[in-house]
């Protein structure tokens, strides 16, 4: 009887540990030429309410900090592509460079591909999940023509 109670208690505690796991935020994949990088979200809201943009990587979004960002080597004229998780596509997402969106409307597909006229200096590419008025997640990476 004591072994059975101990086994039941052990299983309950193990189950509690399993249910306590938190799902990781979605990542995106970005490629150019033969190089690719998997980028973790700087911030992600599992809630439908969205994020307060002021609390999400503002120093990077405003261009005052780029250290520690994933970097992707690029070359002028190369195509680059972005692949997003279905949760991100469902929310709608935009690609921004220097605060300017590369698409007139948020995308609702899992994939985007475009030709890229790389500038001489590295730039920060922003992928922003959410509609026009709401941010659900932000991914940032540096496109670096000097490394290509």
Q: At residue 10, does pLDDT exceed 70?
A: no
- Cβ(98)–Cβ(143) under 8 Å? no
The CATH architecture to which 24-144 belongs is Sandwich (2.60)
The domain segmentation of the chain, as residue ranges, is: 24-144
- Cβ(143)–Cβ(80) under 8 Å? yes
- How many other CB atoms are there within 10 angstroms of residue 148's CB atom? 15
What does the alpha-carbon distance between residue 61 and residue 57 come to, in Å, rounded to a whole number? 6
- Its pTM stands at 0.76
What average pLDDT score do residues 56-84 get?
A: 76
Predicted pLDDT at 24: 85
């Amino acid at each position: 009887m004591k072994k059975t109670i101990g086994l039941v208690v052990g299983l309950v505690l193990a189950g509690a540990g399993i249910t306590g796991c938190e799902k990781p935020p979605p990542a995106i994949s970005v490629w150019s030429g033969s190089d690719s990088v998997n980028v973790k979200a700087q911030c992600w809201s599992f809630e439908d309410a969205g994020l307060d943009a002021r609390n999400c990587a503002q120093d990077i979004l405003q261009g005052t900090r780029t250290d520690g960002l994933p970097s992707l080597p690029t070359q002028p004229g190369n195509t680059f592509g972005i692949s997003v998780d279905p949760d991100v596509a469902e929310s709608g997402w935009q690609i921004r460079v220097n605060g300017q969106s590369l698409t007139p409307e948020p995308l609702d597909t899992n994939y985007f591909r475009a030709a890229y006229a790389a500038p001489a200096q590295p730039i920060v590419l922003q992928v922003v999940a959410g509609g026009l008025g709401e941010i659900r997640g932000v991914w940032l990476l540096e496109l670096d023509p000097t490394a290509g």
